[in-house]
Structure 1
Amino acid sequence: MIIGIGIDLVRIDRLQAIATRWEDRFLARVYTCAERDECFARATPFPALAGRFALKEAMFKALGTGWNSGISWVEVEVFTDGTGKPMIRTSGKVHELLDSKKASTIHVTASHDGDYAIGQVILTKDDCEK
């Protein structure tokens, strides 16, 4: 059963401008060390950073909380599995919210093309859960 859906679209050049202007203050607030390391290991890090940003925003929308409700950006960590598929790992208040909603699976997809990155998150719980 679907319990939450979120989607977000990010202009890559806008995210790059913000990251360039605020440097570590922005990057450390929004991304975990592992996320920054993975993105900056690429020849062009900003499409990957924008995709992760879109997925974090999509996660907050799927939770129904928005990002300004006492949740830290780094409580949603985006990483890739061995095939390059994006995955989400949660901690802190985000993890507690997922537990309270009895979410069993976080479905994630992201893409970037040209000037934009998009991320979508669908939260589901087992049909037998009440």
Structure 2
Amino acid sequence: MLENNYRVPKFSIGIDIEMIERFEKYSLESHKKELERIFTQSELFYCFSKKNHAPCLCGRFCAKEAIIKAFSSFEQSFISFADIEIVNEDKKGPRVKIIGKQFTTDFLDRIEIKISISHTAQTAVSNALVLYWCDM
């Protein structure tokens, strides 16, 4: 017989692809408010420290869109761009932090999010896998 605290994963996936040229027009000086609705200060600092910021912004936008799409099948499905931060760890690739205050500690302890981001000269793409550990 299974213990009461046994958990099984529910999972969902999301994907997004965008044209990098959409992000070439953005500058911190002219588009700060618009950028801050989508990206955290850390993300903006990271992307604008690059020689070409557009692929970085586009990739993170795709990752956030993919995560939002993956979350849409769960109970607490409301998540926005501002709730998600894409963090780079040395040689480990991108990692996701959920920073929205509306999520309970219990909910955050039950989710795992894995992402992959890639781009060509013209497009960026990301996929997201969200695991939600449910009680049996």
Aligned residues of 1:71 and 1:93 also touching (Cα < 8 A): no
Q: Which residue of 1 aligns with 2:13?
A: 5
Kindly state the Cα deviation for residue 125 of structure 1 after the two structures are TM-superposed: 3.8
Q: Which residue of 2 aligns with 1:14?
A: 22
Q: Which residue of 2 aligns with 1:119?
A: 126
Distance (whole Å) between structure 2 residues aligned to residue 111 and residue 52 of structure 1: 10
Q: Which residue of 1 aligns with 2:95?
A: 87
Distance (whole Å) between structure 2 residues aligned to residue 29 and residue 54 of structure 1: 15
Query: What's the Cα RMSD here?
Result: 2.8
Gaps of 5+ in 2: 1-8
- Superposed CA offset, 1:20-78 (max 9, x none): 5x61121111100000000111111110100000000001000017xxx8644121000
Kindly state the Cα deviation for residue 82 of structure 1 after the two structures are TM-superposed: 1.0
Aligned residues of 1:71 and 1:94 also touching (Cα < 8 A): no
| Corresponding residue to 2:114 among 107, 125, 129 | 107
In percent, how many aligned pairs have the same letter? 28
More strand by share: 2
Closer/same/farther in 2, CA of residues 11 and 123 from structure 1, 3 Å limit: same
1:25 paired with 2:33, answer yes
Distance (whole Å) between structure 1 residues aligned to residue 50 and residue 123 of structure 2: 17
Distance (whole Å) between structure 2 residues aligned to residue 63 and residue 38 of structure 1: 25
One-letter amino acid of the counterpart of residue 48, structure 2: F
User: Which of structures 1 and 2 has the bigger CA Rg?
Assistant: 2
1:53 paired with 2:56, answer no
More helix by share: 1
Is the partner of 1:35 in helix, strand or coil? Answer: helix
- TM superposition outliers: structure 1 runs of 4+ over 6 Å: none
- Superposed CA offset, 1:75-108 (max 9, x none): 10001111150111002267449918932x2111
The alignment's TM-score, normalised by the length of structure 2, stands at: 0.77
